Chain A
Amino acid sequence: MKTRNYLLPYAYKKAGMWMLIPFAAICLCFLFDVKLPKIEVPWLAIGDDIFYKGKADLVTEAGMLGLLVSLCFIALSREKDEDEMTAHIRMQSFVWSLWFTSAILAFGILFIMGLDFLSFALVALYLYYLVYILKFNLTMRGIRRAGR
């Protein structure tokens, strides 16, 4: 019986890793208030009074979207040697990351206030992906080393 796993081919993982470098750098600049050039364009979005008609900074939008896409590529691509044990480790890592991220979010909601909460919220958007990628890859690394 064939089951769908909804994963991308392995090549996307490599592409995601290369994409991560510039996009993570842009997002770190936002986080630490480093000034980047602005490219403002008219933008229609959901916002005040249902529709937000104003301007958006393309550098910000591209940076955050690029980070999301690159993390998706890394997290949701097959391994070179993907098999049922990899799928099992993937599932365990998903659950572990969800617990860990929830604990961090609960801590942030309770103990981070003011403007710092905005920085925390920005990181929190990507935290689940980051924790999952670290957990999954460290586990796989441990298994590959044990099997040598």
Chain B
Amino acid sequence: MKNTVRVERAIKDITQQELASAVGVSRQTINSIEAGGYVPSAVLAFKIAKYFGKPAEAIFELEEGD
């Protein structure tokens, strides 16, 4: 699953740690999500989307094979 978390974070000018604290996970988890190494649960995906004020599908997108 592709995501634009890094881009959204850059637009909002916040660090990984700030986003991690806001959604209640570790900074490593945000880093892994941005790098595509970890696909977040639906709950976490909605929390991240809510934080950026966008619908989840605007940030997370299914890839072929998902």
Q: Which A residues fall within an 8 A CB radius of B?
A: 1, 81, 83-86, 88, 143-144, 146-147
Contact = CB atoms under 8 A, between A and B. Distances in A.
A140 to B, nearest CB: 9
A85 B27 contact: no
A1 B43 CA distance: 9
Interface in B4-28: 16, 24-28
Given A84-B41, A84-B44, A147 B25 contact: no
A84 B32 contact: no
A143 B28 contact: yes
Contact of B32 (A1, A81, A143): A143
Contacts, number: 35
A84 B28 contact: no
A4 to B, nearest CB: 16
A104 B47 CA distance: 43
Contact of A81 (B28, B31, B41): B28
A84 B29 CA distance: 8
Contacts of A83: 24-26, 29
B25 A84 contact: yes
B16 to A, nearest CB: 8
A83 B37 CA distance: 15
Nearest to A82: B26
A146 B27 CA distance: 11
A88 B38 contact: yes
Given A83-B25, A83-B26, A147 B31 contact: yes
A147 B26 CA distance: 10
Contacts of B32: 85, 143, 146-147
